[in-house]
Amino acid sequence: MLHTIKLYFPLEHYDVIEMQKRFSISYEHVNEYFDAHFSGRFNGITLSISNKGNNKWKLYMFVDVIKLLGKHDISESDYSLLKSEIKLILFALFRHYCYYDQHVLQRIDYRYDVIVPKHERDLLLHMYQKLTKSYRYQVKFLGKLDEHGEC
């Protein structure tokens, strides 16, 4: 199932200037403004705008799909709903969503829920705790052999 996605949108300079004037903020503070004014409507969104000094503006968006859509079992049929939510975010920022067609998907994280019985879970946690307590007693092998063929 889909969990999070990271994507960016190439922007035009005039849209960034217009957004800054409309919201009375600097482009560096777009995430704080978005959280303060749109967090009730769009949960799980992290935004940043960068220029990188080459006059190519980009809006980076990290989307927690579970929080945005408000459901845990995200499937392929929810793609159209996710697409419309991202377009609404772009519309809230720039008053249009034409940048959606130029988006670049950088990363997709999936999740797989597994039910582990309690006795197996307790055994796994006990083994993990045991490993963290004894990590310093392990011997590090550098892969070098002596004249007898031993490490």
Give domain status of residue 26, yes or no: yes
pLDDT of residue 128: 81
**130 inside domain:** no
- The SS3 call for residue 37 is helix
**Count of domains for the chain:** 1
Q: Is residue 139 part of a domain?
A: no
pLDDT (tens digit per residue) in 47-97: 999 987 778 899 999 999 999 998 888 888 889 999 999 999 999 999 988
- Which residues, listed in sequence order, are joined to residue 105 by a DSSP beta bridge? 7
pLDDT of the residue at 85:
93
CA-CA distance, 45 to 39, in Å (whole number)? 8
Tokens found for residue 26:
């600097």
Residue 23 sits in a domain whose CATH number is 3.30.70
Residue 144 lies inside a defined structural domain of this protein: no
Separation CA 60–CA 75 (nearest Å) = 24
> What is the per-residue pLDDT for 40?
81
Is 121 among the domain residues?
A: no
Output the pLDDT for position 140: 59
Q: Is pLDDT at 134 greater than 70 in this prediction? A: no
The string of pLDDT tens digits covering residues 10-61 is 999 999 999 999 999 998 999 899 888 887 888 889 999 998 777 889 999 9
Report the 10 Å Cβ neighbour count for 110.
Answer: 9
Nearest C-alpha neighbor of 20 from the set 57, 69, 52: 57
* Res. 112 pLDDT band, cuts 50 70 90: confident
Structural domain contains residue 149: no
Residue 6 belongs to domain spanning: 2-110
Residue with tokens 């793609």: 79
